[in-house]
Structure 1
């Protein structure tokens, strides 16, 4: 039995409504709640939810977590408010969102109904951390022999996989994108190797944790 299941996605932003409108257009989600501090995007299921949270810190370093998306053309994402970063090196297009965070666009014909393709994560040891998340989610790991990346299918999620790719630089700041999970017991996650960063209190009902490579995620205990 898995220790947790995927719940939803969270993105930090200095201007939450503006960044939420960008991602709503790119991902084909609806802006359901729109205020300066917390904006919610919704889709066909609860797991399509994306929370855009206001934070004071602007983007200062390359994001260790980014979104890969499907689009008919990179121009569609540029017209939504993105800026080009690298349109030539890879078979995908690397852009910056309106606040400077990286994202990758995979041009498709036809375009899948689910516009979110994968969640990419920088890693010191892709196979190790992918195996950890696969164990937590009750999934499996696939290794790409060409580049050493490791992907984990995410059961029930409205995207295909977490994809962990090796980078030389260490994690230095809080991730601006993270995911939430549902669990029967936070102790299951801690027992597997997660570290508690914040316990539930008067302000939050969830537990903030870090995986073995320090990636933040939030766990909600199922009633």
Structure 2
């Protein structure tokens, strides 16, 4: 059985502050916290995907290649959401061309969008989509279909969409010509099911186009790192966690 997408991991300077800011933004609570990690998640039974915040020493550099799109019910709800988040410390990013969505940055500068209402996002929860820049959206989407499971819509255009098997946001791939130059500040975690083997799933993803990558995990004490860090075919980091139901 394939791995499935379980969390979005966001590097930050102040994990606790970021987790609480995003918890307020989404209406979610803290689901786990220790000195190295703060997690937020939707209430049981509600759609969504866990957000994990972890401290890193590096400062943010350039635009993130992975960002979140937030849903709205209508124009009034979109405007109210933008105003509420700006009042809470978000910063508006002005675009060169007028768009129906609003681009904001959270208190640590991570870009995200508050979308206009779109029927296809109804019922997905407050996060409509996890958006990943891609040189080849269809090809990268095909890899992530192997990693995250779900139905892929890729017609050769600038956007490919993966509808995941778990209730929550779409995983969308948007064409870009910009090269990846630094470690992603936002990355995805996948996990095998309890009856599956982590090493076997890692090898399966490598055969699908991933490769091992080093982001400092080898410097941790032996046994402390229980995940395997890979890079997808376009170099985006992805962690394969230990099996779990």
> By the TM > 0.5 criterion, same fold?
yes
Which structure 1 residue ranges, 4+ long, deviate > 6 Å from structure 2? none
- The answer for the alignment partner of 1:129 in structure 2 is 140
How far 1:79 moved relative to its partner? Answer: 2.1
- The answer for the alignment partner of 2:179 in structure 1 is 170
- The answer for the alignment partner of 1:57 in structure 2 is 58
SS at match of 2:61: coil
- The answer for the alignment partner of 1:119 in structure 2 is 130
2:187 matches 1:187: no
- The answer for the alignment partner of 1:27 in structure 2 is 26
92, 95, 100: which one pairs with 1:91? 100
How many angstroms apart in 1 are the aligned matches of 2:124 and 2:180? 33
Superposition RMSD in Å: 2.6
In the TM superposition, what are the counterparts of 1:40-79 in structure 2 within 5 Å? 40-45=39-44, 48-71=49-72, 72=77, 73=80, 74-79=82-87
Q: TM-score scaled by structure 1?
A: 0.87
SS at match of 2:62: coil
Q: Structure 2 vs 1, CA of residues 40 and 167 (structure 1 numbering), >3 Å: closer, same or farther?
A: same
How many angstroms apart in 1 are the aligned matches of 2:118 and 2:210? 40
Equivalent residues of 1:4, 1:136 under 8 A apart: yes
How far 1:138 moved relative to its partner? Answer: 3.7
Higher strand fraction: Structure 1 or Structure 2?
1
State the Cα deviation string for residues 67-114 of structure 1 (Å, max 9, x = none). 001242311222232100027721110011111111000244998571
Q: Structure 2 vs 1, CA of residues 41 and 172 (structure 1 numbering), >3 Å: closer, same or farther?
A: same
SS at match of 1:31: strand
How far 1:30 moved relative to its partner? Answer: 0.4
Equivalent residues of 2:141, 2:154 under 8 A apart: no
How many angstroms apart in 1 are the aligned matches of 2:123 and 2:148? 24
State the Cα deviation string for residues 31-64 of structure 1 (Å, max 9, x = none). 2445553211132349732210001112120100
How many angstroms apart in 1 are the aligned matches of 2:168 and 2:180? 27
Q: TM-score scaled by structure 2?
A: 0.80
Unaligned 5+ segments in structure 1 are none
How many angstroms apart in 1 are the aligned matches of 2:148 and 2:189? 12
- The answer for the alignment partner of 1:156 in structure 2 is 166
Q: Structure 2 vs 1, CA of residues 192 and 112 (structure 1 numbering), >3 Å: closer, same or farther?
A: closer
Of 177-186 and 93-102, more deviation after overlay is shown by 177-186
